[in-house]
Structures are given as structure tokens and as C-alpha cells.
Amino acid sequence: DDHEKHDKDDDHDHENHDDHDEHDHGEVDPHVWLDPENAKAMVHEIEEALAKADPANAATYESNAEAVMAKLDSLVAEIDSELQPVKGRGYIVFHDAYQYFENRFGVSAIGSITVSPEVLPGAERISDLQEKVRSLDATCVFSEPQFEPKLVATVTENTNARTGVLDPLGAAIDKGPNLYFTLIRNMASSLKNCLLGSG
């Protein structure tokens, strides 16, 4: 797993990064699906491959692809509107996985902290992480479902930061045709609710 390439002290800030290519996530940030515009490109490629493999149903594939792309356009507009009130608010992520989402919707983490989801860091590391949260004046610290709540609570203890959970893999979402749309909506809701202190 390329996420393990970070060592235990691999903290880095997101400030002044206008392009996701500048973020250190191994060689390439693999989370391309978190930008619905990339999802549209994937739908287009899938539609073309299906039409080539099954020309008799090409019109159906094209019609279905157009419908999904229209839904993706609506999703972008919906999420962009939902996140307007929180643009510019600082947050920290436990996993540096959100550049595609952040760039599409104009939100940006001010830092990331890399810790193992399974092992509670030592006292010195906890103190360093808490100081980072305080010094960056983060409104929220976001973890993912695999992180123990105790770890998140420990990292944010003695800070003013609230906590939230982002799930870029949709681990808790029912499989089906709306999974992707639910995943993106859930991420936006989690960001907004934590950053505004609601929900």
C-alpha cells in the first residue's frame, strides 16, 4: 500500500498548493475518483469500451453514459454550493488523500498528519501532533473509518479542533448505482458539518 511510504514523522502542510501534483503522496495521488470531473472521464472511457465490445448496444451505452454525466454535473454544482460557507476554513487530515476533491470544490486542508491507524503514537509524538493542530489553528481534524476514535480524541485533546470522519472509499455505504454520489455527498456533509460545528 503506497500510503505506508510515509514514515512516522512525515507531516506536511498543504498551504500554498494550487495543484494536487505538488502534494507528496508517494509518486502520484491515487484518489482520482474524488473529483467528479475525473469520474466523467471514466464514464466516457467505459462507454466507449462497451460500445466497441458490443456495437449492437452502443446507443444504450451512450444514452446511459450521458445520463450519468448529467448527474455528475448536477452533483458538482450541488457540492460546490454546499461547501461555499466553509471555503477558507482550516482543517487537518489524517490521510493525505483529498487533493482531487479539494481542488474541484475549492476547499483545502492546511496540513496532514500521518499516523498508523492501528498503533497509538508515543507521548512525544502525541504532543508534537497536538502542537501542530494548535499552531495551524485547525477548526477540524478529519480521520477515516479505520482510525480508532481514541487515537483521534488523543490527537485533538487540549486543542480547539473538532473531529470528523471522511470516507474516501465509501466503506460504510451500501453498494449500488448511487454509491459514488452518496460518497461525494457524505464527504461534503462531513466537511461542512465539522467546519461549521453543526450536525
pLDDT attached to residue 25: 46
Residue 9 has pLDDT above 50, yes or no: no
Q: Quick check: pTM over 0.85?
A: no
Residue with the larger pLDDT of the pair 70 and 22: 70
- Ranges of H-type helices in 17-164: 36-53, 58-83, 99-105, 123-135, 149-156
Q: Indicate left, alpha or beta for 96 from its phi (over 0: left) and psi (-120 to 50: alpha).
A: beta
pLDDT attached to residue 17: 37
Residue with the larger pLDDT of the pair 34 and 24: 34
pLDDT attached to residue 149: 84
Q: What is the mean pLDDT of the chain?
A: 85
Looking at the chain, the whole-number percentage of residues with pLDDT higher than 70 is 86
27 pLDDT tier (thresholds 50, 70, 90):
low
10 pLDDT tier (thresholds 50, 70, 90):
very low
pLDDT attached to residue 36: 98
Residue 198 has pLDDT above 80, yes or no: no
CA distances from 173 to 36, 188, 197 (A): 18, 15, 24
Residue 110 has pLDDT above 80, yes or no: yes
* Amino acid sitting at position 96: D
φ/ψ (deg, to 5) at 137: 55, 45
Q: Measured at the alpha carbon of residue 94, what is the angle toward residues 29 and 134, in degrees to the nearest 5?
A: 130
Least trusted range by pLDDT, from 3-17, 26-40, 106-120, 124-138: 3-17
Q: Which grid cell is 103?
A: 481542488
Least trusted range by pLDDT, from 11-25, 51-65, 94-108, 152-166: 11-25
Residue with the larger pLDDT of the pair 146 and 116: 146
